């Protein structure tokens, strides 16, 4: 059986060649998961940091701080854990929704969509997507995380 390629295999290979390492990865086995997204129509969601800002990857390579994690998607195991994390972030940064999103999206992760890292105590893990993965099709927005009054003009 041919091993599936990651969606951003070229970039991952580039980081591996620079000495970065992939963490230990596991099959998600159809697990439920959620992610922060932007509810605004037309916003491109489910894009890893280095892909939405390729300059950042180059800068991190030059600084010696590049990390394959930024070619993966941040996920949480449960909506409760995601909301707790979001609430703690918002206490510290009232405008955080402009950076990481204003809504929670939920779905299931099949073994055809990619591999996940181990889950940390706060429920967070990274999803390294396979080529065919498109969470825009399988994840749906289930909750708005900020009050309408808090949104910026």
Partner 1 sequence: MMRKIEGYDIQYDFSGFKKIADLIFFEGPFLSHYISDKGDDYLFYWVDKDETDNRWLVLRVSLANLQKYIAKELTLLQLIESPNDGYLYTVDVDNDVNYHNVKLVQPSALPGDYLPEADSYYEFEPIATEDAGELMTYELTIPYNERNRFEELLNKIGFPVSALKKVVSRAAVF
Under rule CB under 8 A, residue 55 binds partner 1:
yes
Q: Candidates 3-11, 20-28, 92-100, 111-119: pick the segment binding partner 1 (CB under 8 A).
A: 92-100
Q: Quote the CA–CA distance of 77 and 32 in Å, as a whole number.
A: 7
Stretch that binds partner 1, among 2-10, 23-31, 98-106, 137-145 (CB under 8 A): 98-106
- What is the Cβ-side half-sphere exposure of residue 91, based on CA atoms within 13 angstroms? 5
**140 vs 145: CA distance, rounded Å:** 14
- Residue 105's closest CA among 134, 131, 66, 132? 134
Q: Is 70 in the site for partner 1 (CB under 8 A)?
A: yes
- Shortest reach from residue 53's CB to partner 1, in Å: 7
> Which secondary structure element, helix H or strand E, spans residue 61, and what is its range?
helix 54-63
Which residues form the interface with partner 1 (CB under 8 A)? 49, 53, 55-56, 59, 64-65, 70, 74, 85, 88-96, 98-100, 152
């Amino acid at each position: 059986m041919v091993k599936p390629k990651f969606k951003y295999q070229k970039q991952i290979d580039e980081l591996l060649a620079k000495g970065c390492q992939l963490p230990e990865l596991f099959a998600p086995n159809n697990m439920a998961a959620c992610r922060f997204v932007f509810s605004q129509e037309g916003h491109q969601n489910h894009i890893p940091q280095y892909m939405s800002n390729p300059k950042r990857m180059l800068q991190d390579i030059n600084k010696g701080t590049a990390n394959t994690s930024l070619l993966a998607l941040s996920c949480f195991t449960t909506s409760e854990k995601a909301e707790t994390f979001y609430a703690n972030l918002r206490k510290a940064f009232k405008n955080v929704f402009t950076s990481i999103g204003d809504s929670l999206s939920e779905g299931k992760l099949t073994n055809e969509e990619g591999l996940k890292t181990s889950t940390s105590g706060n429920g967070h893990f990274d999803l390294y997507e396979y080529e065919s993965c498109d969470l825009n099709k399988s994840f749906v927005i289930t909750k708005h995380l900020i009050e309408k009054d808090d949104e910026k003009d």
